[in-house]
Amino acid sequence: MSEKNREIQAMETGRPGFESVEKGMVSIHGSIHRLRKMSGFSFLILRTAHELIQCILEPEKCEILGPDGAPWEGALKEEMCIRMEALAVEEPRSRTGWELHPARIRILSVPAESMPVVIHGKEIPASLETILDYRPLTLRNERERAIFRIQDALVRGFTEFLQQEDFVQIHTPKLVSQGAEGGANIFRLDYFGKEAYLAQSPQFYKQMMVGVYERVFEIGPVFRAEKHDTARHLNEYTGVDFEMGYIEGFEELCCMEEAMIRHALQKLPELCPQELKLLNVRIPQADPIPFIRFYEAKELIARRFNRPVREKEDLDPEEEKLLCQLMEEETGSEFVFVTHYPTAKRPFYAMEEEENPQVTKSFDLLFRGLEVTTGGQRIHDYAVQLSKMKARGMDPEQFESYLQIHKHGMPPHGGLGMGLERFTARLLEQDNVRRACLFPRDIHRIAP
């Protein structure tokens, strides 16, 4: 078998574009991604589910049929969906090492208008706003769609790892009667005459489920009504959440996350080699991820960059970048766990350090300059949780169903939530998190 045929057979396996290979003839379907008329022939780029394939179309050698099966009198157009029978021919100058010479094209659908944006170049020559306005079309660009194949591969890797570690996948409600994270950034709606909210995280529910299965995870939408209009915020994002019981410290959560990330990154080259190459992805090392305490990190940044500390109890975006830069220089790691965040900045369910209740047994994971995960150990004792809520001026009666678990026995436990789009964006070194979200939602955008 020639090299060419082996490649085509490899492509055929489990891929819907290819349907038969017979004496060098293939039957294949896809969209006309690009069409360029030359003298006597046309270059046609066929976009299948996985590849862009170069085709040489010689009008006199190819029969063209319309959607009704009758000979097609008109011209071919970009974004037509077609099925073709073609001869596969070796062609070292093409990207795949071969090309197709169509003998028969059946047009399956004819676009009504030509494309409003050019999608067949490497990059789309348009602003992010325009790219997002035409998202159903611009995702057909090969680089755009590569992003979400890589995101899919990440989700596969995370899921596979968590299942191997005995986590049960759960589906918890997004319509809720209390917010878990507090604050103003919550969407409200009318639920048959009652006020309801959109879940800011599966926090309460995953904790409840620790009492049932010990280890659970969920990958699903999370809603934040934040008015931030930045390159790092989305108002709806995909949370990768896990929660586990019988831990002896929050460090176990970090180790679990490190192993989960490592597993997913290791799987990428197997699941989407073409896409990694196309986007020139630098896969980071996550072995091991260094730790630094929050206050140490603050001090270090202030000292090394001679920078006044403005916000005492949080890292600002610039500090996250500087810290990552520092840690990479010192340890070679592009990830860093920042631990022991101030109690004042963490939610009411965060467990405090016994020796110093001003800080919590919590952490953020920073990756290439951006916070991508927040996690920590939770309070499991009823009396402790109750007194902390009261100290914060919260009404425990409002949280009655959540507090059932504390009242009736919970193991020491904790967990974390990762933002899938943020993780993807940093992995692919995209400047804006919107680029790693299929249909982003922000303060100005709710369509498409």
Considering the complex, state which of residue 106 and residue 293 has its C-beta at the smaller distance from a second copy: 106
**Contacting range for a second copy; rule: CB under 8 A; set: 57-65, 260-268, 330-338, 403-411:** 403-411
Least separation in angstroms between CB 188 and a second copy: 7
Dihedral sign for Cα 374, 380, 381, 383, please: positive
Kindly tell me which residue out of 34, 120, 140, 346 binds a second copy, with binding defined by CB under 8 A: 140
Least distance from a second copy to the Cβ atom of residue 419, Å: 12
Nearest residue to 48 via CA among 73, 1, 84: 84
Distance of CA 216 to the CA centre of its chain: 20
Nearest distance from C-beta of residue 347 to a second copy, angstroms: 18
The residue to which tokens 């611009």 are assigned = 138
* Contact by Cβ (8 Å): 131, 110: no
* Binding-residue pattern over the window 330 to 369 for a second copy, x denoting contact by CB under 8 A: ----------------------------------------
- Which residue lies nearer to a second copy by CB, 25 or 139? 139
Which range of residues in 132-140, 279-287, 300-308, 323-331 is near a second copy by CB under 8 A? 132-140
- Distance CA(335)–CA(295), nearest Å, equals 18
Smaller CB separation from a second copy, 124 or 219: 219
Query: Nearer to a second copy by C-beta: 224 or 298?
Result: 224
> Does 246 sit near a second copy (CB under 8 A)?
yes
Within 106-125, the residues that bind a second copy by CB under 8 A are 108-116
The answer on whether 413 is annotated among ligand-binding residues is no
Distances (CA, A) of 415 to 162, 223, 243: 13, 19, 4
| 3-state SS, one letter per residue, for 172-207 | CCCEECCCCCCCCCCCEEEECCEEEEECCCCHHHHH
11, 17, 18, 95 from 14: Cα distances, Å:
8, 9, 9, 21
The verdict on whether residue 49 carries a ligand-binding annotation is no
79 is in an annotated binding site: no
68 to 87, contacts with a second copy by CB under 8 A? 79-81, 83
Tokens read off for 197: 């909210």
Q: How far is the CB of 291 from a second copy (least distance, A)?
A: 23
Q: What is the CA radius of gyration of the chain?
A: 26
Q: Give the type of residue at 286.
A: A
Closest approach, Cβ 435 to a second copy, in A, equals 15
**CB atoms near residue 177 (< 10 Å):** 14
Determine if residue 365 is labeled as part of a ligand binding site: no
- Binding site per annotation, positions for ATP: 224-226, 232-234, 371, 419-422
- Binding site per annotation, positions: 181, 224-226, 232-234, 371, 374, 378, 419-422
